[in-house]
Amino acid sequence: MIKLTDNISFIGKIDWERRTFHGEQMSTNEGSSFNAYFIKDEKNVVIDGVYKPFADEYIADIEENIGIENIDYIIALHAEPDHSSALLNLLELRPDIPIYCTAKGVESLKGYYHKEWNFKVIKTGDTLKLGNGTLTFIECPFLHWPDQMIVYYDIDKIIFSSDIFGQHYSTAFLYDNKVDKSRLEYEALKYYANIVSPFSSLVIKKLDEISKFNLDIKLIAPSHGVIWTNSEYILGKYTEWANTYAEEQVILVYDSMYGSTRRMAEYIAEGISEAKPNLCVKIFSLATADESDVVTEAFRSKAVLVGSPTYNGGLLTSVAGFLEELKGIKTKNKKAAAFGSYGWAAVSVKIINERLKAANFEVFEDANFNTTCNWRPNNDKANLLRNFGIAFANAL
Ligand code: FEO
């Protein structure tokens, strides 16, 4: 247990070793943490559990520093197993503890653990008096699960924000102002792009709703990563990211079997840079780049160009998977284009264009520029692709 304030302690677990999340779906190259908190008021409150592999350590920490018998309430902000699975161990020892959660939280917790615990369903605006301080609950459905909620504790002016405002970032420093700023900002952005972005329209509404509570917010304590002392920074960033967000950047993302599609990416990139020298242009091979990082780069870009050779009448699976990710994160107002080599059937560009449109991208196509390439680009094709890059950049 690590004391944060006179009333609040950290009872979570920093996972230095974690390199993936949601199974193998998302990379967590900086590790992560499963943040759980303890409030000591006249009532003793445990906020969230940790992931199952750390359940024994979580229980031992509570036994040593709090006493299982002394817990009055559990607050389950979110039922996803990375936060709830160790609660199973806690509740095996004390099944009577009241669990405050949303109605959807009850459904999800029962769905996972098949137990009839002492659930206390909360709604937005409900309060729970702890003695000196009071908890105020705000439901946050689909940020990022239907069960999600946040809770405000007035004594320390702190929001326990569940996954919202989180970062997969392991550090011995528990606060934003103690860690490498650029690393933290990137991890917060990566978290938003990969996990929260599909729900951006709800983020805008929820931030507006939270602001109407007129809470005096000094700290924001998410369930992954560091606690924000600079709450204005992360609230401002979420407002930016949830609206139409784009930096002065374009990325080209491809996979290639023998280098033809790679060369196409490079020629197009040359044209883009020639037309817009101050535009940041990055090229990623899905064979070697970290896909979650590429998704993050796509999220922050004005445009994404995607390339694949035609392979077995379709796309390379790395590119098909990336396009599925792009569709899932539901970006807005971004341009896109497709390119790719082929041997005997030029299919990939057509498929990529269809999938980019399905992913809500505005696809740039121009009959003057054939962005397929039979076998390997020659000088004429190289020039055409450069000119395509210029035309694409000028259309941004
Ligand atoms: Fe960190 Fe949605 O659980």
Distance between CA atoms of residues 259 and 278, nearest Å = 27
Task: Please tell me which residue in 163, 255, 291, 325 is annotated as part of the active site.
Answer: 163
Return the half-sphere exposure (C-beta side, CA atoms, 13 A cut-off) of residue 288. 6
Give the pLDDT band of residue 276 (cuts 50, 70, 90).
very high
Ligand 1 pocket check for 78: Cβ under 6 Å = yes
- At residue 323, the pLDDT reads 98
- At residue 109, the pLDDT reads 98
- At residue 237, the pLDDT reads 98
- At residue 261, the pLDDT reads 98
- At residue 92, the pLDDT reads 98
pLDDT mean over 39-52:
98
Q: Is 128 left (phi over 0), alpha (psi -120 to 50) or beta?
A: beta
Alpha-carbon torsion (360, 361, 366, 372), positive or negative:
negative
| Tokens standing for residue 83 | 């936060």
| Tokens standing for residue 237 | 């960033």
Ligand 1 pocket check for 48: Cβ under 6 Å = no
Give the Å distance between the CA of 148 and the centre of ligand 1.
9
pLDDT mean over 182-205:
97
* Closest to 35 in 3D by CA, of 268, 223, 255, 272: 223
Task: Please tell me which residue in 153, 169, 191, 254 is annotated as part of the active site.
Answer: 191
Ligand 1 pocket check for 80: Cβ under 6 Å = yes
- At residue 328, the pLDDT reads 96
- Indicate the average pLDDT of the chain: 97
Give the Å distance between the CA of 171 and the centre of ligand 1.
18
- At residue 94, the pLDDT reads 98
Distance between CA atoms of residues 268 and 265, nearest Å = 5
- Residues near 239 by beta carbon (within 8 Å), at least 6 away in sequence: 204, 207
Return the half-sphere exposure (C-beta side, CA atoms, 13 A cut-off) of residue 156. 25
Give the pLDDT band of residue 59 (cuts 50, 70, 90).
very high
- At residue 62, the pLDDT reads 98
Establish whether 224 is a catalytic residue.
yes
pLDDT mean over 103-114:
98
Crossing angle of helices 103-113 and 81-93, in 10° steps, is 70
- Residues near 122 by beta carbon (within 8 Å), at least 6 away in sequence: 100, 101, 102, 128, 137, 139, 149
- At residue 335, the pLDDT reads 98
Residue 144 Cα: closest atom of ligand 1? 2
- At residue 200, the pLDDT reads 96
Predicted confidence (pLDDT) per residue in 160-178, tens digit:
999 999 999 999 999 999 9
Place of tokens 């284009």: 337
Taking CB atoms within 8 Å and a gap of at least 24, the contacts of 89-96 are 89/49, 89/55, 89/56, 89/58, 89/59, 90/46, 90/49, 90/58, 90/59, 90/62, 91/115, 91/117, 93/59, 93/68, 94/68, 94/69
Give the Å distance between the CA of 295 and the centre of ligand 1.
19
In percent, the amount of the chain with pLDDT more than 70 equals 100
pLDDT mean over 341-363:
98
Establish whether 83 is a catalytic residue.
no
pLDDT mean over 342-351:
98
Establish whether 78 is a catalytic residue.
yes
Give the pLDDT band of residue 315 (cuts 50, 70, 90).
very high
pLDDT mean over 325-336:
96
Distance between CA atoms of residues 72 and 53, nearest Å = 25
Predicted confidence (pLDDT) per residue in 117-158, tens digit:
999 999 999 999 999 999 999 999 999 999 999 999 999 999
Give the pLDDT band of residue 317 (cuts 50, 70, 90).
very high
pLDDT mean over 258-281:
98
Ligand 1 pocket check for 147: Cβ under 6 Å = no
| Tokens standing for residue 47 | 């906020």
Ligand 1 pocket check for 223: Cβ under 6 Å = yes
Distance between CA atoms of residues 102 and 230, nearest Å = 28
Distance between CA atoms of residues 65 and 61, nearest Å = 6
Give the pLDDT band of residue 203 (cuts 50, 70, 90).
very high
